Amino acid sequence: MPDSQLSIRIDLANGERIGPGKVDLLEAIRSTGSISAAARTLGMSYRRAWLLVEEINAAFRAPAVAAATGGHRGGGAKVTAVGEKIIALYRSIERTAHTSARKQRRAVHQLARKPAVKSRV
């Protein structure tokens, strides 16, 4: 049985939050070059992805994602230097937390109720 998962969410002083979903979205935008393609990759609606990008951009001093409108040459989106820094810092925090709390996560996992077994009918 796999260990429990650790999920990190950073609550910023300005009231905004950055967590695994937003960082996953930034990484998907980086790899696809598009908010809509990133949304499809993550199984979310374009509207939801766009709203998350707006939240991310509003949370920081400079935008994390620069989007170009569609048209003859197409649109697209690019993760900015700020976005790249957010990804790197978040993933570093995540790695540090996973390593530091390994024993405690396993101990909590041992206390957890086992998942119900589905019966075959």
Res 1: pLDDT: 42
pTM assigned to the model: 0.83
Q: Which CATH class is domain 10-111?
A: mainly alpha
**Chain Cα centroid distance, residue 82:** 15
CB 26 within 8 A of CB 79: yes
- CA separation for the pair 112, 91 (Å, rounded): 27
* 110/5: higher pLDDT: 110
Residue with tokens 């960082």, as numbered in its chain: 23
The alpha carbon dihedral of 19, 95, 109, 12 has a sign of: negative
Map out the domains of the chain as residue ranges. 10-111
pLDDT (mean) for 55-60: 97
Res 69: pLDDT: 72
pLDDT in tens, 68-89: 776 555 679 999 999 999 999 9
Q: Which helix (H) or strand (E) holds 83?
A: helix 81-100
* 9/69: higher pLDDT: 9
